[in-house]
Structure 1
Amino acid sequence: VKFLPALQAVGYGTVPPQHADASAHKCPGLPHAPGECDLSSMTLETPPSDANVPTRTGYVTLLGRPNAGKSTLMNRLIGQKLSIVTAKAQTTWQRITGIHTKGHIQAIFLDTPGLLLAKDLFQHSMLEEALDAVREGDVIVLLVDATDPLHESEKKAIVEALSLSTAHLLVVINKIDEAEPDEIARISGWASSELHCEARGISALHGPGVAALWSEITEALPEGPFLYPPDDIAAAPVRFFVAEFIRETVFEQFREEVPYSVFAAVDEFREDQDPVYIKANLFVERNSQKGILVGDKGAAIRELGRSSRAKIEEFIGRRVYLELRVKLRPKWRRREKDLGRFGFRVPVGKSGNDGN
């Protein structure tokens, strides 16, 4: 396969020969199309476990604006769907921690909400989640969407965020298989001049460049003992991911502003039963949104339940009985008490109505 000079300049098409046949492998744990693959099916450039080889471990912060491909990349690196992915922007609301252990390497990935110019309490909460992850990261992977040029204000916000850390920086141009060569060259030039970092290109969705990126990440991780057992893939409890899959289905099934006003919370999770019994609440801000979620004679919420249940059953590997309830919680995104109750970070010094 021949690559345009602009693609070669950012490392696209430079996957080592041992990864060339990765597309022939099945992709366990992730939906895939022909040609897709994940790291669990590759022979990575990570030495086998050896008592004489020091272990490396650390936090890898995935940073970028909404829809840059952070969640898609983490899911591929982990080899398991942990972060929800939809066509809509800003579906990651809280930091997701995914763990990938291979040989003497343990990378703890922090998938963050997209960087944005925060305008309200909820957006400030998401921004603080992202900035905290920047401060904690041992390696920062900055993803830039090659198909959607950065505005000057966004470039400035990225530079300011990166100023919070002295961690090893990897600038990654994503969706490079869909991009115009001129735009790739512009991003690469900006990374070199403003961030003093050479960019590399990947397709997080389809796989090219990801194995080479993994190798760079492993080389940048500091030496140290593993922070999690080798078979752990996530730091959050199962019920957190159950709620996320329900919220993902809301984004897929409903349009416009409705999904951004819906928060899913698991009220009961009884895994000692067969099928597993799960009761979850969907909190909305307006009665009109409640009507949309329920639908005519309950048709919409039944479909939401069916689709969500299928995802949950695949994730936990058991049959599930899922009960969904829609509850009204006016202006929950603007109220500090509600944000705190739902597990969001409450920004200090930001305006918000802390009602009952």
Structure 2
Amino acid sequence: MRRICATWLILTVCALVVAVKQVSSQSFAGLGSDADGFAMPERGYVFDFPADHGAHPAFRIEWWYLTATLTGADGRDYGLQWTLFRSALAPEESSGWDSPQLWLGHAAVTTPEAHYVAERRARGGIGQAGVIADPFEAWIDDWQMAGAHLQQMRLTARGADFAYDMQLQAQGPLVFHGQDGYSQKSASGRASYYYSQPFFEISGTLTLPEGEVAVTGQAWLDREWASQPLGASQVSWDWFSMTFDEGTRLMGFTLRDSAGPDFTAATWITPDGQTTPFPDGAFTAEPLVQSDVAGRQIPTSWRVLLPQKGVDVTVEALNPQAWMDTSIPYWEGPVRLSGTHRGRGYLEMTGY
């Protein structure tokens, strides 16, 4: 029976991956495909914490997405990623093997010379993966992000050739993107619910092939859920999170459209957590340098502009080869910022 259940789980997850890849030509990871029966984000939603730190099974897709820029005692730069994705086959929740919730975990560590990646897959309802809102705990197998209401947490993950054990402490408030957390993604009004905790201080230990490395730095957690956030012709995106040396932060993204103009949005975040949202067209990102990555040409240096805030920065990858060779591959890694503002951040690029 255990063998039958395990085989059924593998076939189910593989079928989901194949289905997602089949629709990715229309929209990355199928995020623009039809979502009949699932809930849709609405303007004016009032967030409820700590409940909204947990899962929302009435919506089709959701993620808990943490990235961190780190420095070792010798001044060497590193990057870290920990992500838990939830994807629903049906807009409902049930227990055991009847649960329609599928879970996917990604973890990575980036150095200037190497990029280490691991992936985990799980079925909901049987305890292998999930999220509890209060006290907060997100896990898949032995990977875990857990603590009190996203304020103080422990973060762990491991792969074949890396591991990390980190402590997170929030030094500022949650911030909301778009219109009070209603984040529009297309001119036609597609949207998600989207908030972040961009004020984490992080410290701990990376375990790499060369040994253990004590690191400190800053981390950024994104929380987002939706059912059909992209248009069918929005094929992919470039997403930037930037922490400037003076304490200001900027989130911006470009959603690339194969049938029309691209769509952009941005959020300016002051050191005390006050936000200013910027609509389509205010934020721009122009590729400067292309690198050969996993047989693809991928922009690993960018010029990013937000003229209303005097931002004109060059974004350069710490390691151009930060390729996530996962079920749905993408580029994700730490970046350095120079120009009108200096600092560090993270860049995610899909669809290349």
Q: TM-score, normalization: structure 2?
A: 0.25
More helix by share: 1
Higher relative contact order (CA 8 A, sep 6+): 1
Larger Rg: 1
Per the normalisation by structure 1, the TM-score is 0.25
